[in-house]
Every structure is written in structure tokens, then in C-alpha cells.
Amino acid sequence: MDKVWLKNYPADVAHEVDVTPYSSLTQLLDESFKKHADHPFSVCMERWMSYRQLDQLSGALGAWLQVQGLKPGARVAIMLPNIPQFAVTMAAVLRAGYTCVNVNPLYTPRELEHQLKDSGATAIVILENFARTLQEVVGRTQIQHVVMAHMGDLLGAVYGRVVNFMVRRVKKMVPAYQLPRNGTLRVTAFNQAVSAGQGLALQPHNCTMASTAFLQYTGGTTGLSKGAVLTHRNIVAAALQTEAWFTPALARVGQATKVNMVAALPLYHIYALTTCLMCVRLGAHITLVPNPRDFKAFIATLKKRPFHILPAVNTLFNALLLQPTFKTIDFSHLCVTQAGGMAASEGTAQRWLEVTGSPMVEGWGMSETCAVGTNNPVLSTSFTGTIGLPLPSIDLAIKDDDGNDLPLGAAGEICIKGPNVTPGYYQQPEENARAFTADGYLRTGDIGMMDERGYTRIVDRKKDMILVSGFNVFPNELENVISLCPGVVECAAIGIPDEKQGEAIKVFIVKSDPALTEADVLLFCKQNLTGYKLPKSIEFRKDLPKSNVGKILRRELRTPTVSLPT
């Protein structure tokens, strides 16, 4: 397919990005740290960190990791919220020549165990608030080194102690834990590791653009999440593509180092991570929001100083609009309101524009594409209802089931190719064979159509995946877990429309125990699934619709029918 979208590109956006100046993502980091040394990198709880400090702290932690005997390319899990320790750890792992494995801090023990075992991680940097989860599974993993972070570690000696006291003693946010301290597992405090590394030299590594920078876990069609391999080339390309696309709007700020991006979305999520790395490339600074659900504190943070980029999902935009004090914020400096992670609704976009004066710009991407794929022009003045145009150096094709290109206006599977697209899933050869077309495009599972201008609209989803507030949830995983609940014979999970979350989870259950209740099932789910995977509704049935070979037909469950009484 011809790149029809290029005719509608903003005049000052390049058609291609060039990654050849970089030999690795580490080189990009090193250059940015040196170039922007005297500029601020982040602010969290009104404590600032400069690029110079990020350089020094990550170099020290990276050097400490190297002397622990980790092998080149070793996987290091990062289980941290949006606090300064996240960027320090991420940079340290990459600069030391290792691979980052981002972990959702709210994972249950079952979910954490799978990711640690599947990735083969031998070290983890974790906030103490989540250590009890690790305690339950660490003995069944390859983890040998635990770096234990505390909320106040990088917030200054005095203020840090105050924060730690409040978190531990007043708010009681740190459940009791006890990690085994033996010959195979070493536990080191975060600040202690950094301090020990300050007297060490960070040794050069042999990573190239083809080396793995991140294992980014996403929902698995088999019921288990799988790690998308994101190479140094993938991440560098994504940072450059995002920078190229955002530049027309950010030109309004003038100097890029004055740009302030609000990081309310979790940095372990690829959407937030990519925008963060774009800021590193620009020398911009980031306002870290550890808990965006604390709307009083979040809004107070937004009122502190001008902000220019606000990436979020539709549910977060909605939640902010519902806060009475949200309208009191000064939005005059906001250049880009970036919606992604899930479908943005026109109603939310209209209300956002009325309150902020900033048009909501919708984009689309996946973990497998470093969150980069398509986006509406950032200088758009209205909500288009499409996912926009392919970003620089990206080929987008609408294909049929056999991998053939379809004409403009025809609905088919959105397939993508570009320097930001994963080479495949970690240790998943069969999955990789299914994931790519014969001509090298990644099958996304989204059904869309492209118009004559090159704008794409998503019309359906080929996969059974459920998209809850921007997070992928695969029915297979839910069904595998719920089937283990005592009293459940079989079950099926589907997504249903939800005004707040985009989609919510509904589970249909056939039970063997008449006494089994919705509350029983929900309690079991809370013990085994992280929050966004919990069903919103549960329906008991005598049986479930099946094909002639016994496969449960989820599509029939999506069609409203009269349920059979139990």
C-alpha cells in the first residue's frame, strides 16, 4: 500500500527517523545526561533531581549491579511506582548492560511468580510496600539479589525519613514481610547499593541496537502473559518518532528543556515509559505522580507550576473532570493532551476541551510497538474519532486473514511494520509464527479501516482481548484462574461496554456447588488477580454455549440473550 498518509503529514514533521547515530539506547542516555546535566530531570513531592544527579546515581547503582556477578544481558525486574528510584534503576540496568523487566507493583503473587520465572530474572528492585508479595514466591524463582527501595530514599535525608515514617507508621502502607536471608538470596537497601557503587567504575558493555533493552509483558492468548522483546533499536526509534510528532506543539514552549511532562500513568506501562524516554532525549523534565488516584494531591501538584504534556487514558481524563477543583488549574501552558492506551470517547474529549481549552489528541500503539503506531496531529483543533496517521518510519497495512493488502475503506486487520516493532516474544516460537505476516508485518488483532487521507479508524477487535482502562486482559487468563475456584465447573469471560473503563469484565460461570456466590468468586479473584482484572459482573448459568467440538463460544455470550436460571 502506498503511504497515502504522508500527503497529510504536518509540514514540519519528517517522514522518517534516523536511528543510525546511536549504537545503543545507552548511548542516547549517556549523551542526554551529559548534554542536559544542569537541567532538572524530575520533581516528586517537591524534591528535584537533575540530569547530573540521575547520571551519578544510575552510574553508581549500575556499577554495584555489575560487581554482584550478574551475567551480560541478565534480566533485572523493576517493581516500582512513579518515584525517582524508577528512572535511576531503569537507567542503571541499561547502562550496566542488562535487560529491564517492568513489573506492575500491584501484581498478585501468582502473576509476579509467572513473570519472574518466565523472564529468568535474577535480580529485582522493589519498593518495600510490595515486598510481602515477593516473599510468597521468591523461593520458586531464580532471584538472587533483591534491592529494597523505600519511598523516601531519594527525597533528602530529613524529608526522606519523614516520608518513610508516614508511609510505614501512620498510613501503614508497608505490610509485614520477611525475605529469607541465606546463601542464595541477598537483600540490599537501595541507598546502600547506590552508596556502595559510588566508589566503583561503571564498566563498558557490549550491547548493540539488536540487544534486548526491555522485556515488556503483555496479555497472553494462552492465559499467561508473554514478554515482548524490545530492543535498543526499538526504544531509540520510538523516542525519536514520538519526539518528531510532538515537536510542532512543543515549539510553542521555545526551549525544550523547559518542557514539563506530567507522569501520572505508571512508568512500568509502555505508554508512559516511551513518553518519559522522549523527555530524556529532549532534556525536558517530568513531574512524577506516585498515586494519581489521590486526586486532591494530584490536582495540587498540577497547580504548582506550568505543565505542557499530559498523557493519560480516557478513564483518568474522566476522573479528573469529575473533581470540583479541577477547573481551578491553569491550563494556559498545556500543549499536548495525549490520549492513548484505550479508546477515547468523544464526550470526554468535548468536556475536556470545554474545561481546559486543550483538544484531546488520540493515538494508538501496543506494548509490541513501544506504544508508538498512529497519532492524530498534535496541532489538531478538534477530536477526530480516529487513531490518526502512522508516525514517521512506520508502515501500516490493512490485511485480510491470508495476509493480503486490502483497499482503502475496506475493514481488515491492522498490521504494522517499523523500527519500533518488536522482533518477537521471549521464548515463544509458536506465538511468533502466528504474530507476523509473510512480509514481516505484526498482526495487531485490531480490525480497522483506512480512509483516503491515511487516517485509520478501529472498528472491532479480532482477538478476544478485553481492554480495561488501557490495560490488556485476556479471557484465557481469567478463565484459567477462576476455574480453580472451588465450586466452579467451567467459566467464560468477555468484555462489556463500560462508560468509565471503556470495557469491563463479565464472567459467566457454571457451578457444581449450589452454595457458591458472587462474593465467593470475587474474593477468590482478588486473591489471584490484580485489580484491573477483576470481574465487574458475574452471572451463573446452567451451561455455556459451545461449538460442535466443545469450544465455548464467547461471541454468543456477547450477544444479549435470556440467561438460563440456575
pTM over 0.85: yes
Mean pLDDT value across residues 123-136: 98
Render 398-426 in DSSP notation, one character per residue. EE-TTS-B--TT--EEEEEESTTS-SEET
Assigned domain for 485 exists? yes
**Under a CB-based contact definition with an 8 Å cutoff, are residues 88 and 154 in contact?**
yes
Assigned domain for 530 exists? yes
Is the model's pLDDT at 107 over the cut of 80? yes
Predicted local confidence at residue 486, as pLDDT: 93
C-alpha cell at 50: 537533575
Last residue of a domain, one of 177, 207, 237: 207
Assigned domain for 188 exists? yes
The pair phi, psi for residue 242, each rounded to 5°, is: -65, -40
Least confident window among 12-21, 371-380, 472-481? 472-481
Last residue of a domain, one of 181, 207, 233: 207
Surface-to-core class of residue 221, CB atoms within 10 Å of its CB (0-12 exposed, 13-18 middle, 19+ buried): middle
User: What percentage of the chain exceeds 70 in pLDDT?
Assistant: 97
Assigned domain for 134 exists? yes
Last residue of a domain, one of 188, 207, 226: 207
Render 434-487 in DSSP notation, one character per residue. HHB-TTSPEEEEEEEEE-TTS-EEEEEESS--EEETTEEE-HHHHHHHHTTSTT
Mean pLDDT value across residues 433-437: 95
Neighbours of 51 (CB within 10 A): 23
Mean pLDDT value across residues 242-266: 95
Assigned domain for 152 exists? yes
In whole angstroms, give the CA distance from residue 538 to residue 553.
17
Predicted local confidence at residue 191, as pLDDT: 98
The pair phi, psi for residue 76, each rounded to 5°, is: -120, 120
In whole angstroms, give the CA distance from residue 476 to residue 464.
9
Predicted local confidence at residue 563, as pLDDT: 42
Domain count, the chain: 2
Binned at pLDDT 50, 70 and 90, residue 221 comes out as low
User: What percentage of the chain exceeds 90 in pLDDT?
Assistant: 81
Summarize pLDDT for 142-159 with one digit per residue, the tens. Answer: 999 999 999 999 999 999
In whole angstroms, give the CA distance from residue 282 to residue 255.
9
Binned at pLDDT 50, 70 and 90, residue 223 comes out as low
Predicted local confidence at residue 189, as pLDDT: 97
Assigned domain for 269 exists? no
Residue 543's CATH number:
3.30.300.30
The residue that leads in pLDDT, 383 or 87, is: 87
Strand partners, 436: 442
**Under a CB-based contact definition with an 8 Å cutoff, are residues 507 and 481 in contact?**
no
Mean pLDDT, all residues of the chain: 93
Domain around 114: 50-207
Binned at pLDDT 50, 70 and 90, residue 546 comes out as confident
Assigned domain for 149 exists? yes
The residue that leads in pLDDT, 295 or 563, is: 295
**Under a CB-based contact definition with an 8 Å cutoff, are residues 110 and 153 in contact?**
no
Summarize pLDDT for 64-86 with one digit per residue, the tens. Answer: 999 999 999 999 999 999 999 99
Neighbours of 263 (CB within 10 A): 25
Mean pLDDT value across residues 99-104: 97
Assigned domain for 194 exists? yes
The residue that leads in pLDDT, 349 or 420, is: 420
